[in-house]
Amino acid sequence: MPCPARGGGDGSAVSLQLIWRRETALPSPLYSKVCVTIEEKSINPTDEQAQACLRVCQMFSSYYRDIQLFRFNAQTREVYIFVSDELQVIVSINGLWRFLDETEL
């Protein structure tokens, strides 16, 4: 069953559905279903940049590191990958990537 869209004015829609248990005397939620739709502009990285992002994310995943933030900056056309305070990567438009050091922050 699809969730009804309730927009927040910013292009996003969030709704919550509760599926109720009927066999008990007091109704209680069996499970909840949260639907989220985020509508934003599409990102258009270059092929080299997209492949470099995939390699960097795979590298972190192979070492059991969670990726906390993955962001495409439309103005600079760079991808920012935040793994932890010590591990941050910038992927440039030509597909070359580098670690971001704290002097650049």
8-42 per-position pLDDT tens digit: 444 444 444 444 455 555 555 555 555 555 566 67
Q: Does pLDDT of 55 surpass 50?
A: yes
Give pTM, 2 decimals: 0.59
Tokens of 30: 């069996």
Tokens of 67: 């990726």
Same-domain status, 33 and 59:
no
Q: How many domains does the chain have?
A: 2
Q: Which long-range contacts (CB under 8 A, 24 or more apart) does 59-65 make?
A: 60/87
Amino acid identity, residue 68? Q
Q: Which residues contact 83 (CB under 8 A, 6 or more apart)?
A: 60, 65, 66, 67, 68, 89
Domain with 4 in it: 1-40
Same-domain status, 52 and 34:
no
Same-domain status, 32 and 61:
no
Same-domain status, 57 and 95:
yes
Same-domain status, 32 and 71:
no
Same-domain status, 54 and 94:
yes
